Amino acid sequence: MSSRHPTLQRRDSRVAPLPRRYSDSGENGHKRLVRRMSSFETMSTAPVIFSLRNEVGALNNIISLFRENDIQVRGVELRKPQRKNSEVELFVDCEGKKGMLRELIQQLNEQLHRIEISEEDRKREATIDKEMKNLPWFPKKISELDKSSNNVLMFGEELDADHPGYRDVAYRERRKMFAQIAAGYRHGMPITRIEFTEEETDMWNQVFRELQNLYPTHACKEYLVNFKTLCDEGIYKFGEIPQLEDISVFLKERTGFQVRPVAGYLSPRDFLAGLAFRVFHSTQYIRHPTNPLYTPEPDSIHDIIGHVPMLADRSFAQFSQEIGLASLGAAEADVTKLASCYFFTVEFGLCKQDGQLRAYGAGLLSSISELRFALSPTAIIKPFNPIDVIHQECRITTFQDSYFQSESFPEAKKQIREYAASIQHSFGIRYDPYNTPRASRSLRQTSGEIMNAVDELKDDLKVLNDALSRIQSI
């Protein structure tokens, strides 16, 4: 491939469609990852009927069990007892995690004379269990990314025969070291700092200098603002390759994104799942020195220079996360389509600013050759539309046949959101940034649960509205 395209710089996305020989293979069955969803993470409602003695303090003792198990009581109804006049019967409509509800019912059984769950509710729970069992596995809290982040499909420590570094023993040993660092990483750990070689630093200097000269006339405003900030804070500099730990701290302070090291290509499902938690998987290795304008996989230069400045923009960070959220639990065909949307926006997207075409895709912003080509009269530019994009071939060894232009990030985000709504899910997904460090996905299965989420959003909007009113009154 490199001999046929000696002037092309490789600008790969780790969510591009895989070569045919990888499409149905991979450790642990990457074509379809299916695991049982933890019942403790599934939100559920249950109407519970029980009897208790009509005496002082009896009800308070029972209600305390609901509180201890983090079960929300949505309504209580006093009913005529069916057995003894010395007892009272209560109908309690409650909500909580399924596993905690089971714990509660077990505790109630130990203390009460009679407890029932309606047959209708039992049938509904059985239906939900069946649906959840058939879903592809996906992480429901950020620490569960540890289970999928090492499922590298290719370009890890093992290199293909056509890779520029295949016959370079020292380079392969270096790649093995980076793979071991990524394999040993767990959520919450500081990212290992790398002592880069002089040869690797020279490679960084060469690409950094050339791209820096192109950005004023080729990069979008959002990229330029954050690129300058990264330079001003000393994270980007000539003569020193940035450390992932410093980048992760920088991003977390600005958009909530963080970085975790990865050894090579992940499957589209695993990579997009990280975005759902605002986690970006980044390589730490540098392309082989024989050709700084070519690399057969995304390297640290691509990830650091291409992706990081855009992930520091709030609107773009949310846009990236929404693609990730839409992928969770989706069918394999839908994940592939979302990966194509990611490829032609986050990797190779273009936008119009002040009447001029500008790049915001990381594959372009980290590629000297293709950045020039994509903004030249020779390139074919089409308006971004997810329906068109999912049928466009994603090329990872040559320039793209076509590029897609969005009028703005909010417009692209709106289109992605509308497209994601067409993907069939048996549940709703909401990101919970407050439950750190778990950052869990809340599965919304009832109208009551959805209304609770709406109420939380209303509270957030009220805070923003109050702040706006104060500003306007000054």
In this structure, which amino acid lies at residue 118? S
Q: Give the residue carrying structure tokens 């047959």.
A: 119
DSSP state of 21: G
The residue count of the chain comes to: 474
Which of 307, 327, 440, 449 does the annotation list as catalytic?
A: 307
- Our measurement of the distance from residue 428's CA atom to the centroid of its chain's CA atoms, rounded to an integer in Å, reads 16
Evaluate the CA torsion angle 158, 164, 169, 174 in order and state its sign.
negative
Q: Catalytic one among 347, 367, 406, 449?
A: 347
- List the beta bridge partners of residue 53: 87
Instruction: Name which of 137, 63, 59, 125 is nearest 97 in CA terms.
Output: 125
442 assigned to active site: no
Q: What contacts 403, CB < 8 A, 6 or more positions away?
A: 344, 348, 349, 350, 374, 379, 380, 381, 382
112: its two tokens: 């009460």
Q: Which listed residue (366, 367, 440, 442) is catalytic?
A: 366
The string of DSSP letters for 49-117 reads EEEEESSTTHHHHHHHHHHHTT-EEEEEEEE--SS-TTEEEEEEEEEEEHHHHHHHHHHHHHH-SEEEE
Task: Retrieve residue 146's tokens.
Answer: 């540890």
Helix (H) / strand (E) element for 374: namely helix 368-374
Q: Is 347 known to be catalytic? A: yes
Would you call 12 exposed, middle or buried from its count of C-beta atoms within 10 A (0-12, 13-18, 19+)? buried
| CA distances (Å), origin 138, targets 30, 38, 422, 453 | 12, 11, 19, 21
Of the residues 200, 222, 302, 320, only one is catalytic, namely 302
Q: Is the separation of the CB atoms in 369 and 293 below 8 Å?
A: yes
Active-site annotation holds for 302? yes
By CB neighbour count within 10 A (0-12 exposed, 13-18 middle, 19+ buried), where does 460 fall? exposed
Supply the residues annotated as catalytic.
Answer: 302, 307, 347, 366
